[in-house]
Structure 1
């Protein structure tokens, strides 16, 4: 059944209107949690209790015992592991602390579906979470498996599978921001649009909205990304750097790090759009989700997806009409 709304209302925020304790979680590791920051700040400014989490690429194993609140679930603070130069979760906690927001960012190690689901369950029970928004910086979370290229789907779809099998949460949602940024990973964005159209037909697409820099949340997001770039100069986020450039109105090959010196960027206004989806509806369209269901290690996820790709006929890539 499709919920009928007025045009001036936002379907994503309508779904979250009755939620009191919301978890905003980065799906794909690295700086993905930053991609959810404008949304998280907006919910905080509405008086919601908001918690942040991220599937982490950081060296979590070196954290002291008092950081671990459950198996595979670490609570990262602004003063955690100050010797580690690359630690997006701590860098975000430092920015949150500086601005007076709750400054704990939860982190999951790179693990398979089964242990990640257990860690999510522990976090949901810890804070009595009644809605989860899974955030992908990029669009590969929207790919079902038979596209010309899948980008880097392992972490994203492990997160989707973990939450798809986690019952008892009234609302589970997905947002994708950074349309076009995955092109250098082989993602065909015409096929992304084709998938969004199919999700609309299924009733799982909740529309799109931008992150304007004139908003309080847009301005604070730009500040948080600049703070992260300053504190992680050797490995800044290309995804969030591109999104931030789009929010500022940059276009084309906008340079903000030497990491992109060998490639040509196409920063554009579509990168600053949040595309929102119902998570169970998105999960139902993934052709290989059942194959990764019983995984315990990320390398198992990788091999299962590779096996699926060897046995499936892929859709040929399509070009945008000129």
Structure 2
């Protein structure tokens, strides 16, 4: 039973004791889950962070590797000094008094990624997983005008859909950011409406800038941008800009210099859904079963799109 006084995502997580917050799409996606994780830790839950990594996980030092495609990253884990989001978050967590381990998943297919999730669920006694997406790619069903960059997000969704834990949720942060990759956000809203009809939509909630979670998130994003000056996260930087109250074509990095931005308050809102319900709505997720590599995933998605008789026509939000 839900109530207006408590966001449904927290109602669903109320009985959880050990929660895994996992970045679905790689890069800095795990930072999108930081405010949720901080709020859950404040409630006394054990919170763990993981991320599908763009770092070559199996080349990390052997003490960090737990099995092929899974590593425990800490502030002293050797790696690329210019780009290592998992170590950046681990370092920030340690500097702020939190457990300084972030688990890194290899950029693989569904089979090895699911095995890595199952290992973490066992080792950490996880009873809830929250997949977080920086953007909205993970909410695409398959027949939209564009899927954005779906490979990593859908591999994560398919992998976790096959992991048995009591609670599995998805949280999307950064509404509007994926316009750069062709996402039609009217279709994002259409998908959320369908999930609402089917009882799988868990509502939206904002990150208050004045909250402890908001302040720490802004600090973490600023720290990550300082540590990654050549490749600051456009997604997290845009969310941070929205939290600061910036609006419209407000740039924080030269990486977006050739684009017209639309920073707005919706970017700092979580849209949350039941993971199993989202997976069941996908038109092609079952095709990813048995995939071993991310290239296999990409090929299967491309084949699915080529076979579609039509895609939903692009439309504008009329307000």
Consecutive unaligned residues of structure 2, counting only runs of 5 or more, are none
Matched with 2:249 is: 253
Residue 297 (structure 2) pairs with residue 301 (structure 1):
yes
What is the CA–CA distance in structure 2 between the aligned matches of 1:310 and 1:128, rounded to whole Å? 41
Q: 1:174 aligns with which of 170, 184, 192?
A: 170
| 1:92 equivalent in alignment to 2:89 | yes
Query: For residues 251-290 of structure 1, what are the alpha-carbon distances to aligned partners after superposition, in whole Å with 9 as ceiling and x for unaligned?
Result: 0111111110111111000000001110000000110001
The residue number in structure 2 matching 1:115 is: 112
Shift, 1:58, TM fit: 1.5
CA distance in 2, matches of 1:219, 1:143: 30
**What is the CA-CA distance between 1:82 and the residue it aligns to?**
5.1
1:64 aligns with 2:61: yes
The equivalent position to 1:131 in structure 2, one of 112, 115, 128, is 128
Please give the alpha-carbon distance, in whole angstroms, between the structure 2 residues aligned to 1:59 and 1:254: 33
CA distance in 2, matches of 1:92, 1:238: 16
Report the alpha carbon displacement of residue 84 of structure 1 after superposing the two structures with TM: 2.8
Per the TM alignment, residue 5 of structure 1 is displaced from its structure 2 partner at its CA by 2.0
Q: Distance in 2 between matches of 1:229 and 1:33?
A: 14
Candidates 36, 41, 63, aligned match of 2:38? 41
Q: Between 253-262 and 187-196, report the one with greater CA deviation.
A: 253-262
Determine the structure 2 residue equivalent to 1:183.
Answer: 179
Within 2, Cα distance between the matches of 1:54 and 1:175? 14
Equivalents in 1 of 2:176, 2:115: separation in Å?
Answer: 33
Superimposed CA distance per residue, residues 153-209 of structure 1 (whole angstroms, 9 cap, x where no aligned partner): 000010000011112x00000000100000010000000000000000010000010
Distance 1:289 1:62 in 2: 29
SS in 2 for 1:97: helix
Matched residue count: 318
1:20 is matched with 17
With 228-237 and 73-82 compared, the bigger mean Cα shift is at 73-82
- Scaled by the length of structure 2, the TM-score of the pair is 0.98
1:17-74: CA deviations, max 9, x gaps? 1100000000000000000000011111111100000000013233111101223110
Moved more, 81-90 or 16-25: 81-90
Is the CA contact (8 Å cut-off) linking 2:60 and 2:79 kept in structure 1? no
Shift of the 83–187 alpha-carbon distance from structure 1 to 2, 3 Å rule, reads closer
Of 11, 20, 28, 1:31 maps to: 28
**Per-residue deviation at 1:83?**
4.9
Counterpart for residue 210 of structure 1: 206
Partner of 1:295, secondary structure, is coil
CA RMSD of aligned residues (A): 0.9
Structure 1: gaps (5+ residues)? none
When residues 61 and 71 of structure 1 are mapped into structure 2, their CA distance, relative to the original with a 3 A threshold, is closer
Secondary structure (helix, strand or coil) at the match of 2:303 reads helix
Which residue number corresponds to residue 81 of structure 1? 78
